[in-house]
Amino acid sequence: MPLLDNLNAEQLAAVTLPDQHALILAGAGSGKTRVLTTRIAWLISTGNVSPAGVLAVTFTNKAAREMATRISAMLPISTRGMWIGTFHGLCNRLLRAHYRDAGLPQLFQILDAQDQHAFVKRLLKSLNADENRFAPAQVQYFINANKEEGRRAGDVEAFDDFSRRLVEFYAAYDEQCQREGVVDFAELLLRSYELLSRNELLREHYQGRFRHILVDEFQDTNRLQYRWLKLLAGHRSERRDAAGGESASSCLFAVGDDDQSIYRFRGANVGNMADFERDFRVENVIRLEQNYRSQGNILAAANALIANNRRRLGKNLWTQAGKGEPIRVLSARSDAEEAAWVAEEVRSLGREGLARREMAVLYRSNAQSRVLEHALFSAGIPYRVYGGQRYFERLEIKHALAYLRLLANPEDDGAFLRVVNFPPRGIGARTLEQLSDAARAAGTSLWQAVPRVAGKGGSALAAFARTIEALRGETRELPLAEVVEHMLAGSGLLDHFRAERDGADRVENLEELTNAAAAFAQEAAAEGAGAAEPDGPPDPLAGFLAHAALESGEHQAAEGADALQLMTVHSAKGLEFAAVFVTGLEEGLFPHEQSRKEDDGLEEERRLMYVAITRARSRLYLSFAQTRLLHGQTRYSVASRFVEEIPGEVLKWLAGRVSRPQFEDVAWETPAKKMPVPREIGAMGYRIGQSVTHPKFGQGVIVSAEGSGAEARLQVNFGRQGMKWLALEYAKLTPA
């Protein structure tokens, strides 16, 4: 079968596995997506399952799109009947189709993280919560973390007054969401889990329908997502929870890589992989270890590094390709020098004929991009920074969406508050306070309370209400794109930004919203024509709003330009480049300072480094700076332990004889040991930046000093031993 051509033995085994649960440990660059998509195509083309019997889950819209595209390239049929999407997208689909059973209004709105934050803030205020003890962000985190563990407020155990209060907020939050008809991201998951778990008929329907469930990036799933999968797969323990009957379970095909688990901070639970193996008695664990991306030295570095982690399922990447170039390492004197070197090296790679889009500069934290951008800009190298503001998160777009939400549902207090005085129309805090008092007293939404406060209609508030009413009236029967157009004009948003000095971009973004709406409507129409199921959103406006919340809009068409790619290591996951620069490899930065306080924190940082390394195909550069400007002051650091964990024989140390201020005649290729540490004004015979040795902590660098004479204390960075304050009088420090 041509479908199976060019698969290696393990890939072939995975693709053609019998109808059983399976765990595929897919190393970086091992053809994971190919296995996943070919498996689906194989199942369908062998008649094993119909397209409607396939459920494929990913984490990002991009991954879902790619999967759908690749499957339709392999099969003569359309992918329409298949459920391919993100967890949230699929849950949204489920809840829209069964909103009544799920206890939701038909046009429920989705809150993104920003909306949720504002919502919590508003809630805390209305409950007179102590602002100093309860920060909105903290309460938001508490709610999300619990939802992601599958716990409602009633399921959370409170140990003290503080946590009891948090639980109260959680309960009040859920009630308020229900009243306003809004749903946050975690709620999409939890609500659809509860829907299936409580509704036996529905559960059996979907369990019977989805014969094959395939999950991408399984190591990133959180506990709730795993339970959701278990429930849909008809796993016994989840069915007992749900008091359901017996039915044959569907096959769960999970693909993941524990070594690339880097999202614990957002709830991912690597343990799901081991749990899956146990819970489902998985007999088929297949390792994909042949790597088709990177050259030998790069893989040697990755393997050696990750071997330092203790809790692993275990994997070793190998390649048929040669060793390739050594990995080049630079010890720069400063972050500026590091950046200048990157620029220089990118130039030189360009001269060798490498396209800039094939090169990436990676860093641990976003703040590092500034220096790099400065150097690249000075050098005239086109670059693109990933991970800025996304389209649907922009201020003006959020305002526009809030107007649309009000058209769909005027009871939406969050949307109401966002735009009631935007553009400014003289509705101040005083008026809004009266309004919210009235609403609370009457137990209604703000919108319903307007007549109580606005009185006879001469007020600004009454005028706002009339504006919304008028818009609702005139857009009722219009196609989506025209609704948007009317809203932009009628709300005054367009005029407001046109009058603003620097409003041109915003006007452009707003006008783009009309195009986005038109494109969405067109796609929905095409989909609706072919779809056999009546579960699409009944209302195009609601559908568009859900789309805006679920797909924050990374479709930047500006990818045409050949630009160097700048991004955090996190956002590089899943991507690959011919040449990769991993910068800022300093103790305290990468691994990050914070990580030492978390258990498993260091191992997660190491996995992050593993991800960074494995992005590179043929050229890998590592760099660190001895001094770095952080939070407005110079920090002195030592090289990251991760550099030391890479075998010396694959490394090639570089150093520059830097002729200040220009870097033109730098001989970067001169082999050299680490450069001398810079010395600066210091105290008490020691200098800031000086290397010292401590009998217990070993080698360190003096970072700062305070006090004088017998009181003097030095702050020393001992690398993996951490940052220490030492009393000069007692500490047995010797210059190194």
Q: Whole-angstrom Cα distance, residue 622 to residue 331?
A: 9
Nearest in space to 300 (alpha carbons), one of 606, 578, 641, 650: 650
572 vs 654 by CB, closer to DNA: 572
CB of 354 to DNA, least distance (A): 25
Q: Which of 551, 586, 587, 603 binds DNA (CB under 7 A)?
A: 551
Question: Angle at which helices 161-180 and 113-126 pack, to 10 degrees?
Answer: 110
**Could you tell me which stretch among 29-37, 58-66, 642-650, 702-710 binds DNA (CB under 7 A)?**
58-66
Q: Phi-psi bin for 685: left (phi > 0), alpha (psi -120 to 50), beta?
A: left
Q: Is 399 in the site for DNA (CB under 7 A)?
A: no
Q: Among residues 143 and 330, whose Cβ is nearest to DNA?
A: 143
Is residue 550 near DNA by the rule CB under 7 A? yes
Instruction: Tell me if 428 contacts DNA by CB under 7 A.
Output: yes
Q: Are 38 and 3 in contact (CB under 8 A)?
A: yes
288 in Cβ contact with 260 (< 8 Å):
no
Based on the shown chain and the rule CB under 7 A, indicate whether residue 616 belongs to the binding site for DNA.
no
Active site residue 337: no
- DSSP secondary structure code for residue 576 in this structure: -
Interaction of residue 366 with DNA, rule CB under 7 A: yes
* Nearer to DNA among residue 188 and residue 214 (C-beta): 188
Interface residue with DNA among 8, 16, 45, 60 (CB under 7 A) is 60
Is position 601 an interface residue for DNA (rule: CB under 7 A)?
yes
Determine which one of 11, 32, 38, 220 is catalytic: 32
Interhelix angle for 223-232 vs 271-279, to 10°? 30
- Does position 201 bind DNA by CB under 7 A? no
Catalytic residue check, 258: no
Check if 33 is active-site.
Answer: yes
Q: Is 257 a catalytic residue?
A: no
Q: Which listed residue (217, 337, 344, 604) is catalytic?
A: 217
Q: Which of 109, 221, 514, 568 binds DNA (CB under 7 A)?
A: 568
Our finding on whether 554 is near DNA (CB under 7 A) is: yes
The least CB distance from residue 368 to DNA, in Å, is 8
**Closest approach of Cβ 568 to DNA, in Å?**
4
Among 30, 37, 61, 79, binds DNA (CB under 7 A): 61
Is 121 among the catalytic positions? no
Residues in the chain, how many?
Answer: 736
List, in order, residues 6 or more apart from 427 with CB less than 8 Å away.
Answer: 420, 421, 460, 461, 464
* Nearest residue (CB) to DNA, 59 versus 280: 59
Site for DNA in 488-527 (CB under 7 A): none
Sign of the CA dihedral with 263 first, then 269, 271, and 277 last: negative
Smallest distance, DNA to C-beta of residue 88, A: 4
Distance, in Å, from the CA atom of 87 to the CA atom of 644, rounded to the nearest integer, reads 39
Q: CA 490, CA 467: separation in Å to the nearest integer? A: 7
Determine the interface stretch with DNA among 57-65, 251-259, 663-671, 698-706 (rule: CB under 7 A).
57-65
Residue 367 as a binder of DNA (CB under 7 A): the answer is yes
Regarding 424 and contact with DNA (CB under 7 A), the answer is yes
> Residues 260, 610: contact at Cβ < 8 Å?
yes
Q: Which of 322, 458, 632, 661 binds DNA (CB under 7 A)?
A: 632
Tell me the sheet residues that pair with 383: 564
318 or 377: CB nearest DNA? 377
> Per the residue annotation, which of 147, 615, 635, 641 is the catalytic one?
615
Listed ranges 26-34, 601-609, 704-712, 713-721: which one lies at the site for DNA (CB under 7 A): 601-609
CA-nearest of 175, 267, 250, 262 to 212 is 250
Maximal C-alpha separation, the chain: 84
* Of the residues 631, 660, 673, 696, which one makes contact with DNA according to CB under 7 A: 631
| Contact track, DNA, 100-129, x by CB under 7 A | ------------xx----------------
How far from 490 is each of 406, 486, 651, CA to CA, in Å? Answer: 13, 6, 63
User: Which CB, 337 or 605, lies closer to DNA?
Assistant: 605
Among positions 228, 263, 581, 697, the unique one binding DNA when judged by CB under 7 A? 263
3-state DSSP assignment of residue 303: helix
Q: Express the helix, strand and coil content of the chain in percent, nearest 5 each.
A: 50, 15, 35
Least distance CB 87 / DNA (angstroms): 7
Alpha-carbon torsion, ordered 215, 219, 225, 230, to 10 deg: 60
Residue with tokens 């991306």: 293
Of 419, 382, 362, the C-alpha closest to 580 is 362
What residues pair up with 509 in beta bridges, in sequence order? Answer: none
Q: Which of 174, 184, 216, 289 is catalytic?
A: 216
Single out the residue of 53, 89, 256, 719 in contact with DNA (rule: CB under 7 A). Answer: 89
Smallest gap from residue 667 Cβ to DNA (A): 31
Let me know: does 616 contact 294? Beta carbons within 8 Å.
yes
The answer to whether 670 is a known catalytic residue is no
Instruction: Identify the residue among 55, 336, 427, 468 touching DNA (CB under 7 A).
Output: 427
Rounded to a whole number, what is the distance in angstroms from the first to the last CA of the chain?
66
Q: How far is the CB of 103 from DNA (least distance, A)?
A: 21
Cα–Cα distances (Å) from 132 to 140, 141, 171, 482, in that order, read: 15, 16, 21, 46
For residue 48 the two structure tokens come to 């094993």
Task: Give the Cα-Cα-Cα angle 433, 435, 437 (nearest 5 degrees).
Answer: 70
Q: Provide the minimum distance between the beta carbon of 411 and DNA in the complex, in angstroms, as a whole number.
A: 22
Please say whether the beta carbons of 242 and 204 come within 8 A: no
Contact present, 38 and 7 (Cβ < 8 Å) = yes
Among residues 290, 334, 365, 699, which is the contact residue for DNA, using CB under 7 A?
365
Q: How many residues bind DNA (CB under 7 A)?
A: 47
Which of 58, 116, 260, 583 is catalytic? The answer is: 260
Q: Does the footprint of DNA cover residue 185 (CB under 7 A)?
A: yes
* Among 16, 19, 33, 431, the one annotated catalytic: 33
Q: Does 444 bind DNA (CB under 7 A)?
A: no
Q: How far apart are CA 75 and CA 208, in angstroms?
A: 24
Distances in Å between the Cα of 294 and the Cα atoms of 622, 697, 728 are 16, 37, 49
Between CA 736 and CA 730 the distance in angstroms is 18
Does position 229 interact with DNA (CB under 7 A)? The reply is no
Which residues of this protein are in contact with DNA, per CB under 7 A? Answer: 59-62, 86, 88-89, 112-113, 185-186, 263, 265-266, 364-367, 387, 421, 424, 426-431, 550-552, 554, 567-568, 570-571, 592, 594-595, 597-598, 601, 604-605, 629, 631-633
**Catalytic residue ranges:** 32-33, 216-217, 260, 615
